[in-house]
Amino acid sequence: MERPLKVVVIGGDAAGMSAASQVKRRIKSAEVIVVEKGRDVSYGACGMPYNIGYQADIDELVVLTADEFKTKRGIDVRLLSEAVGVDFNNRKVKVRSLASDREYELVYDKLFIGSGAEAFLPPIEGAANEGVFKLKVLDDARRIKAYIEDKKPKKAVLIGAGFINLELAENLKRLSMEVVILEKLDGILLNFEDEFSEVVKEELSRNGVELITGVDIEKIDGSLKVKTNKGEFEADFVNIAAGVKPNTDFLVGTPIELEKGAIVVDRYFRTNMESVYAGGDCALIYHRILNRNVYMPLGTNANKAGRIGGANMAGANEEFAGIVGTILFRIFDKGVAKTGLSLREAIDNGFDAFKTIIEAPTTAHGFPHQGKVKICLVAEKGSGRLLGGQIVGDSEGVWRIDILATALYSNLAIKDIQGLDLAYSPPFAPVWDPILVCANQAIKQVRK
């Protein structure tokens, strides 16, 4: 009788569990083992700031538990189990049980690395003090929720002005905290147009969140006072969100190819090592517009990487079509969205590009609720090829970013977007949708 295929998956979140599930769906007899450093698998990490703000049950974010993967899908998920090394020549993964501190080896026929990313913690004195947090995994959210319940903090200092802290700011205000954001750089959302990052700054200010840029953190003392080059800030809750880095330290010194810590893969999510695949926040991913790999750690990308990588591990031959870099977040009453390249990114990557920005209503004239969005289209001069788009405005209007993402995926030009047959109904859109209005303005620059 033929021996079953042995598959080991490192990492039990989006990419890893998607890959494991694909293998089991396609090869029922496969022996699939997932090693996960944490206590949870398959959960909605992006919902954590809102779970904190709405004081919901943290387990509502869990899609499937380790036990459910075992009983429903036949996948052996080993929690509190950290991959500490890989012997690619002999196809072995060295695993440390964090519960018993015992080390053992798993032999594989095929390996998927979905070890994710870890929070980048700058060398700040006092970062380990009680009351100082990071928000990366579900256990981080549990600790934050328990601390808020116990200490009932009133003053929050958020170090870093990325998506996590912007969303956390809204939700801590919901819990009646005073919130200050301290950002090291001189601006925020640098991959957006200045006109769009200004809207976010205004929305923060309108809702009582103080944003200070150009800040160097000197220390966080025992009373949680944050000392900086721009003064001292009292706090009884601090969250540090200064970015992430690929969780690949256990691969350093091995033959696997890394680029700035991220695993290099092709469009089938194969690495340079035989029978080894990778995807998610630990790996690079193909970008359709740039026609090269980039590092873009997003949950949507991780799920796609795991699904396609897992299918290919099971014998498929699926090529990944690529991403265009679509992101969306909320800041109080505004939605903020981007797909493709900003004007600055387009020029930096060798495109002769221009941008067009308009503001237009999201509902028909005379409709009782007259929402508005600001839309930016970035396009190539001459050809008019769409390179990117951004939208900010009423939450119900920013979904239009998916139209622009689809246009980018389809390699459309401004003249093509002009001709799109978009829906019209007074509660949802005016007869000239804001995207069409922006395209009508942009075509004038193309013709020049």
Active-site positions? 46
**Judging by DSSP bridges, how do beta strands 292-294 and 327-331 pair with one another?**
unpaired
Query: Phi-psi category of 397—alpha, beta or left, where left has phi over 0 and alpha has psi -120 to 50?
Result: alpha
Please give the single-letter amino acid code of residue 279.
G
d(CA 271, CA 247): 16
d(CA 242, CA 257): 26
Q: How far is CA 30 from CA 36, 269, 276, 316, 425, in A?
A: 19, 20, 16, 15, 51
d(CA 398, CA 383): 27
Question: What are the helix and strand counts (H, E) for the chain?
Answer: 11, 27
DSSP track, 76-98: EEESSEEEEEEETTTTEEEEEET
DSSP track, 163-201: HHHHHHHHHHHHTT-EEEEE-SSSSS-TTS-HHHHHHHH
Structure-block tokens of residue 412? 């459309």
For residues 82-101, one letter each, b for 16 or more C-beta atoms within 10 angstroms of the residue's C-beta and e for the rest, the string is bbeebebeebbbebbeeeee
For residue 45, the tally of other CB atoms under 10 A from its CB is 20
Beta strands in 384-438 (DSSP E): 386-394
For residues 159-192, one letter each, b for 16 or more C-beta atoms within 10 angstroms of the residue's C-beta and e for the rest, the string is bbbbbbbbbbbbbbbebebbbbbbbeeeebbeeb
Q: Residue 126 half-sphere exposure, CB side, CA atoms within 13 Å?
A: 19
Per the CB < 8 A criterion, the answer to whether 305 and 285 are in contact is: yes
Query: Phi-psi category of 350—alpha, beta or left, where left has phi over 0 and alpha has psi -120 to 50?
Result: left
For residue 390, the tally of other CB atoms under 10 A from its CB is 28
